[in-house]
Structure 1
Amino acid sequence: MLSQFLQTSILRTVQTLLPPAGSGESLPMWHVNIEQPANMQHGDYSTNIAMQLAKILRKPPLTIAEQIREGLEQNSEFTRIVKKTTVVPPGFINFKLDWAAWAQTSFDLPKASGEKVVIEHTSINPNKSAHIGHLRNSCIGDTLVRLLRKNGYDVEVHNYIDDLGNQLADTVVGLLQLPMTGDHERFGDYCWDVYAGINKVYAQDPQLIHKRTEVLHALEEGHQNESWLGLVVAERIVREHLEEMKQFGIDYDLLVWESSIVKEGFWSSAFDLLKETPLFYQEAEGKLAGCWVLKQQTDNEEYAETKITDHEQDHSTDKVLIRSNGILTYTAKDIAYHLWKYGLLHNDFTYKSFTKDVWTTSPGGNGQTKPFGKASAVINVIDYRQQYPQEMVKQALNVLGFEKEAEKLRHVSYGVVSLSPAAAAELDVDTSDGKASYAMSGRQGIGIKVTELIRRVEIFIEQTRADKSGISSRDIAAASIRYYLLRFALQTEVVFDLKQATEISGNTGVYLLYAYARSVRVLSKAGVGESVPAVPGMLPELEMQEHALLRHLSSWNDTLAEAAKELSPTALCNYAYELASLFNHFYAACPILKSEGEVLQLRIWLTALFKNTLGEALEVLGLPAPERM
């Protein structure tokens, strides 16, 4: 990477300025920060390292910067790439590149050494159709999969199926207890109404909730009417979920069923390990009498109370892993699952094929053995409301002495999707209170289903596009929705508005697709194939728009590496949008096919470089790269 080249060159020079080893000087850990100045006149890249070193060297930053500049100018490899190094107050060092030399030098993305990462995402309760909030999870998770694979990681994708939870139990109770009619094209949509309906009945007749407990026991024990019904419901709905996600280019390697964890003895193995620790015990008195509890090493009840939502109380309240009635909490099974993810249990699943490309855990030992699990690192994409249970899983790993694994367990937290007043009103939600957003609620049947969303956006695009001979309206709709859900910062609550999601200008997926198709059209007219044409030996003086585009192109590998480090799909969106904008400015200001000689050669090369780079960005973001819109 270019930034790595600059960092290494600067570090070599800095080492000559530092106090000698054994001098008694305490040297702090510091990092050579490389960035692109906002004003191109200041340079292509810049560093503030001289200001970081001022206290260590006890010299003014400007003096240190000048010493670093002088040292760098003695480095022939550096000066071949950097044609000018300048120092400006209060101690910045700015670099202007020789772009012809840069183009002829390989600054490849450093590849991870095959480290295996398990990424768990989607993990929708298998009791009804998926909605747009679930889709945000899946789009984030799938983009992280693509991003880490691009950076050289061996990535395994899991979709955890909670087929023993309250939500599925409620749907089963509804199917058994609630008469339901209506026009439904899909089973998941029917169950959507059943689930909302039974929760309304619970509110009217709280005594009926005991049926949920009966079904929960049946689901865990198996081999009863309710358990077989739950299995059939869950499997049918999971297949529909996979079909829904496939429309957005989202794939999985393995479906892990919660029932497999229980029936294959994973929890029993985890339970035996936890019993050997002093922080896991059975309460003898109080409101938790009879419960098996994992005590936090730093107990903070106020924190726990603020972090556990009503939804989480159904699964994991107060660190309880086994309730007094013997039912396991979600967190208990999740601890066992994570011990398996890291290869820390003697147990393993057996597997069978679920679809052509997806495997599933298969209780009973009739399936095949496969090399799943045994990860070096684990990433879980789960919304911010699950922060407390995720921390309890990490706590359990630490309690059991697996500190390295706990450190490499990362929770990618994100804000939920709510509805704008306009979107809520379309669903007949009362918006008279004038709130800025309205939460979706499966229990109340409030939300926009994924299938309904893509249908609406497809219709809008089909009605508004003039040329329909290129990429299909459905593919454009899927790209538009996916990018819309990715471009917001992870912790941001997405207030979904159908009109905003279908916009084709500005920071949208459609804007990126048009820019890519435009570059393909230009190169086709120029007679250029798939490969990037050779860079001109000597570049003519660059126009401002050419320089801006080239400078941004040079930072692509740095963006990939940083986005992987920070697990940030938003960084990729920001890069891609700015790249498309810079190309469109270049296209408008600098005639390409009408230019001649070395200018023509430069602009065709720039266009091809843009096409390939944006194509890579679209691939990582999970968007199509259309030759024609």
Structure 2
Amino acid sequence: MLSQFITTGIEQAVQHVVSSTPGAVLPDVLQVQVEQPANMDHGDYSTNIAMQLAKTLRKAPLNIAEQIKVQLEQDKSFAKLIHHIQVVPPGFINFYMDWSTWAQTTFELPQLPAEKVVIEHTSINPNKSAHIGHLRNSCIGDTLVRLMRKIGYEVEVHNYIDDLGNQLADTVVGIQNISLSKEHRRFGDYCWDIYSAINKAYQNDPELVHQRTDVLHALEEGNQNLSWVGLLVAERIVREHIEEMKQFGIEYDLLVWESNIVREGFWVSAFELLKQTSLFHQETEGKLAGCWVLKQSQESGDDSDTEHSIDKVLVRSNGILTYTAKDIAYHLWKYGLLQNDFMYKKFAGEVWTTSSHGEHQQFGKADMVINVIDYRQQYPQAMVKQALEGLGFTTEAEKLRHVSYGVVSLSPSAAADLGIDTSDGKASYAMSGRQGIGIKITELIDLMENVIEESRSDKNGLSSRDIATASIRYYLLRFALQTEVVFDLKQATEISGNTGVYLLYSYARALSVLNKAHDKGVMPFVPEQFPVLEKAEHALLRHISTWHDSLYAAGKELTPSSLCNYAYELASLFNNFYGACPILKTDGDVLKFRVWLTSIFKETLGEALEVLGLPTPSRM
């Protein structure tokens, strides 16, 4: 990476300056920060390292900066790439690139350890159709899969299926008790209405709640009429979920069914390990009598009136396992820390599923685990990490990453469209499966497709449906992870500004320019010497040069939205260049340079679109 090259050069120069200063010792913690100034007059890159060293060397920052400059100018490889170094008060060092040398230099991402990463995402309850809140999880997760693969990790993608939970039990009870004759396009849509109806029926008929308890027991025990009904419902809906996600380019390697974790002895093995620790014990008195609990540290806080109790229940007094218990067993398996393994069989296409019978496959045994789960699950995720630490698996606990994100709610106008009373004037309205409030993924795709189809004049390029799914995906990715996405139909269907359509249009425009240049016999070769750069050309080059840095930083911080920011600025800079600098109406070296610049823009944006899971259209 370019910034790493500059940083390494500065570090070496700093070491020389410090070692040549009597009595000076390099600080234990010294971070060389290199960044691009917003004002291009202040250089292509800049550092404030001299000001950080002022106290250590007992010299003025300007003096230190001049010494560092001298050392860097003596570094031939550094001086070849940086044609000018400038020191400015109060001690900044500004670097001006030789862009023709940069264009002929190959920079690579840092070498990463040969590690396997298991990324778990989607994990929708298999009891009804998915809505746009679920889709945000899947888009974030799939982008992280693409990102981690891009920077060199081996990645395995899991989708955890909770087929023993209350939601599936509710749908089974609803199928048994609710009479519904409304027409539905899909089984999941039918279950959407059933699930909402049964939750309303619970309020008037408490006996139905007892039926849910019976269904829960049946689901966990298996091999009963009710458990088979639950399995059939779950499998059918999971297939619909997979087909929905496929429209967004989202795929999985393995479906992990909660019932397999329980029935194939994974929890039993985890239970035996946990019993050997002082953190895990069975309560003998009080309201938790008979429960097996995982003791929390006092730092976690004590709120015994909520499920976030200082003693987290893993096994209830009636023997029913909590979600966290099963999740702990699942994570021990993810890391290859249990003797148990599943059997596997194909589920749909190339997607495998855990099973009680089938064949052996090499799944799990991760070096790092990334879980994409909304912020409301922060506490259970912390409990899994604590269980790993308590069992002595500290390395595994350190490499368990929870990618937390804000939920998707509805704007007042979107809520009103669904018949929700918005007279209270709230800024947003939560979706609720129990109340049947939400926008189904399929409904949103259809709506977006119609909007795009009506607004486009040329319909020979990418299909309106593909543009629609790309637009939705980008809309859900571009917000910072912790931001609550207030979904507004009008905003989501916009095709200008910071949108997926704008990125696709920019890519197609660059490709069109390159095709026309090819027809004129102009090929995008790297010029031996660049012409004097126009401001728009310079700005585009600077931004392209930071692609690997942005990619690596996003992988380190697990922030898909930062890639959206990069891609949007890249497209904006290209369109500014396109408008300010005629490309095909020039000639000679200027023509060759601008065609080449268009080419590397296309390649860079194409890589960004690939990581973001968006298409690279030949025309729009």
Shared fold (TM-score, shorter chain, > 0.5): yes
Q: 1:531 to 1:382 in 2, by over 3 A?
A: farther
Q: Does 1:333 align with 2:326?
A: yes
> In 1, distance between residues paired with 2:521 and 2:184?
47
Task: Specify whether residues 34 and 162 from structure 1 end up closer, same or farther in structure 2 by C-alpha distance, changes over 3 A only.
Answer: same
Q: Distance in 2 between matches of 1:305 and 1:448?
A: 34
The answer to whether 1:211 aligns with 2:211 is: yes
Letter in 1 for 2:566: Y
The offset of 1:477, in angstroms, is 0.1
Matches within 5 A, 1:361-380: 361-363=354-356, 366-380=357-371
How do 1:495-510 and structure 2 match up within 5 A?
Answer: 495-510=486-501
C-alpha distance after superposition, 1:214-273 (max 9, x if no partner): 111100100111100000000000000000000000000000000010111000000000
Secondary structure of the corresponding residue to residue 298 of structure 2 = coil
- Give the Cα separation in 1 of the matches to 2:370 and 2:65: 41
Residue 197 to residue 16, structure 1, CA distance change in 2 (3 Å): same
Compute the displacement of 1:21 (Å).
12
Q: 1:456 to 1:583 in 2, by over 3 A?
A: same
**2:237 counterpart of 1:246:** no
Superposed counterparts of 1:59-208, under 5 Å: 59-208=59-208
Structure 2 unaligned regions, length at least 5:
none
After superposition, give the CA deviation of every residue in 1:75-111 in whole Å (9 maximum; x if it has no partner). 1100100001111122211101000000010012234
Report what 1:435 is aligned to.
426
Against the structure 1 CA distance between its residues 456 and 368, is the aligned structure 2 distance closer, same or farther, given a 3 Å change threshold? same
2:349 pairs with 341, 356, 372, which one? 356
Mapped partners of 2:26, 2:48: distance in 1: 21
Return the offset for 1:453: 0.5
Is residue 370 of structure 2 the alignment partner of residue 392 of structure 1? Answer: no
Verify: 1:541 aligned to 2:538, yes or no.
Answer: no
Aligned to 1:604: 595
In structure 1, how many angstroms separate the alpha carbons of the residues matched to 2:30 and 2:454?
A: 56
In the TM superposition, residue 520 of structure 1 has moved relative to its aligned partner by 0.6
Rounded to whole Å, the distance in 1 between the matches of 2:23 and 2:211 is 75
Give, in whole Å, the separation in 1 of the partners of 2:206 and 2:513: 67
Query: Aligned equivalents of 2:241 and 2:519: distance in 1?
Result: 42
Which of residues 594, 610, 616 is equivalent to 2:607?
616
1:529 CA drift (Å): 12
State how far apart, in whole Å, the 1-side matches of 2:427 and 2:367 are.
Answer: 43
2:278 corresponds in structure 1 to 278
Letter in 1 for 2:17: L
Residues 209 and 317 of structure 1: is their aligned pair in 2 closer, same or farther, counting only changes over 3 Å? Answer: farther
Contact 2:36/2:44 (8 A) holds in 1: yes
Matches within 5 A, 1:26-41: 27-41=27-41
Distance 2:79 2:21 in 1: 29
Task: Tell me, yes or no, if structure 1 residue 323 matches structure 2 residue 323.
Answer: no
Q: Which residue matches 1:415?
A: 406
Deviations 1:456-502 (A, max 9, x none): 00011001111100000000000000000000000000000011001
Contact persistence 1:417–1:493 (CA under 8 A) = yes
In 1: Cα distance, 2:304 partner to 2:36 partner: 42
How big is the shift at 1:58?
2.1
Structure 1: 5+ residue stretches without partners: 309-315
Q: What code does the residue aligned with 2:122 have?
A: T
1:552 aligns with 2:543: yes
Mark the CA change 1:137 to 1:606 in structure 2 (over 3 Å): closer, same or farther.
same
Aligned mates of 1:20, 1:153 — CA distance in 2: 41
Alpha-carbon deviation of 1:207?
3.7
Amino acid at match of 2:129: S
Residue identity matched to 1:147? L
| Counterpart secondary structure, 1:572 | helix
Amino acid at match of 1:350: M
Residue 402 (1) aligns with residue 415 (2): no
The alignment partner of 1:164 has SS state of: coil
Q: 2 CA distance for matches of 1:246 and 1:560? A: 25
Could you report, residue by residue, the CA deviation over 1:425-449 in whole angstroms, capped at 9, with x for unpaired residues?
1110110101110000011110000
Distance 1:574 1:606 in 2: 21
CA contact (8 A) 2:163 2:259 kept: yes
Match of 1:492 among 483, 504, 507: 483
User: How far apart are the structure 1 equivalents of 2:353 and 2:477?
Assistant: 28
Alignment of 1:587-598 (within 5 A): 587-598=578-589
The 8 Å contact of residues 487 and 569 in structure 1, kept in 2 or not, is answered as yes
Equivalent position of 2:337 in the other structure: 344
For 1:153 and 1:549, locate their aligned partners in 2 and report how far apart those are by CA, in whole Å: 29
CA contact (8 A) 2:298 2:310 kept: no
User: 1:181 Cα shift?
Assistant: 1.8
Q: CA deviation at 1:299?
A: 5.0
Q: Give the aligned residue type for 2:382.
A: E
Note the aligned Cα RMSD (angstroms): 1.9
Whether contact under 8 Å (1:121, 1:382) holds in the other structure is yes
Q: Is the 8 A contact 2:24 2:57 kept in 1?
A: no
Q: 1:78 to 1:24 in 2, by over 3 A?
A: closer
Which stretch shows the higher mean deviation, 514-523 or 292-301? 292-301
Q: CA deviation at 1:27?
A: 2.2
Return the alpha-carbon distance in structure 1 between the equivalents of residues 303 and 56 of structure 2: 40
Inter-CA distance 97–51: structure 2 relative to 1 (3 Å threshold): same
Equivalent-residue separation in structure 1 for 2:473 and 2:311 (angstroms): 36
Give the AA of the match of 2:475: Y
Report Cα offsets for 1:360-409 as digits up to 9, x if no partner. 0012xx21111100000000000000000000000000000000000000
Question: Does the residue aligned with 1:130 lie in a helix, a strand or coil?
Answer: coil
- Provide the identity percentage: 71
- Structure 1 position 18, deviation (Å): 2.4
In structure 1, the residue matched to 2:506 is 515
SS in 2 for 1:30: coil
3-state SS of the aligned residue for 1:468? coil
Distance 2:60 2:291 in 1: 63
Which of 410, 426, 434 is the aligned partner of 2:417?
426
Q: 1:34 to 1:140 in 2, by over 3 A?
A: same
| In structure 2, distance between residues paired with 1:422 and 1:111 | 49
Q: Secondary structure at the match of 2:427?
A: coil
Match of 2:469 among 458, 464, 478: 478
Deviation of the 1:291 alpha carbon: 0.7
Q: Do the aligned partners of residues 21 and 333 (structure 1) sit closer, same or farther apart at CA in structure 2, a change above 3 Å counting?
A: farther
Q: 1:577 to 1:332 in 2, by over 3 A?
A: same
Normalised by the length of structure 2, the TM-score is 0.97
**Cα shift readout 1:410-429 (whole Å, capped 9, x = no counterpart):** 00000000000110011101
- How far apart are the structure 2 equivalents of 1:517 and 1:452? 28
Q: Is the 8 A contact 1:281 1:292 kept in 2?
A: yes
8 Å CA contact 2:196–2:434 kept in 1: the answer is: yes
Match of 1:3 in 2: 3
Q: Which amino acid aligns with 2:561?
A: T
Q: Is the 8 A contact 2:295 2:310 kept in 1?
A: no
Report deviation, 1:23.
6.3
SS at match of 2:83: strand
Q: How far has the Cα of 1:530 moved from its partner?
A: 14
Cα offset for 1:56? 2.0
